Amino acid sequence: MGTKRPRSNVAAVAGGEQSHPLLFASQPAAGFPAPGDDLVEQPLDLNDLLVEHPTSTFFVRVSGDSMEGVGIFDRDILVVDRSIVPTDGKIVVAAVYGELVVKRLGKYDGKQALLSANDGYAPIVVAESDDVFVWGVVTGSVRFF
């Protein structure tokens, strides 16, 4: 009897022939209604929109609420670029003792730390001897409603 393989929360950028949704020239108003139109501006490929470095970019699905303060929510899909140098202030995906986390890279009490954007989570202070590795820098997100 076979076992069901769990669905991964990490995926590489897909290549090859794909259909492209259409981008409309009009911009819908988020406040008062604006006249719409049916003029198609150009095909829209989300890879073109979200991915600058295809060979070093991955998508990860968020689990949890530790980054809600910066607009990253449970089940969002993050665009992560491994070619960008992580610096203080950047939102990163890091491996902490083998577990992936999404945090802001920064300082806490003068020490390097991974910081949450939710007061319910303590900073992860990082020492040289810790098994912590910044896996990539978050460059965008996709959210489903």
String of DSSP letters for 44-68: --HHHHH-S-GGGEEEEE--SSTTG
pTM: 0.74
Range of the domain at 89: 53-145
103 is catalytic: yes
Kindly report, residue by residue over 23-56, the tens digit of the pLDDT.
454 556 666 665 555 555 667 778 888 888 989 9
- Could you give the residue ranges of the DSSP H alpha helices within 12-138? 46-50
Checking if the pLDDT of 58 tops 70, the result is yes
The single residue of 8, 19, 56, 103 carrying the catalytic annotation is 103
The single residue of 19, 66, 83, 141 carrying the catalytic annotation is 66
- pLDDT score, position 5: 42
37 occurs within a structural domain: no
Radius of gyration of the chain (CA): 19
Q: What is the mean pLDDT of residues 112-125?
A: 96
- pLDDT score, position 46: 81
26 is catalytic: no
Q: Percentage helix, strand, coil, to 5, in the chain?
A: 10, 35, 55
Least confident segment among 44-48, 84-88, 102-106, 128-132: 44-48
- pLDDT score, position 39: 58
Q: What is the CATH number of the domain that holds 111?
A: 2.10.109.10
Q: How many domains does the chain have?
A: 1
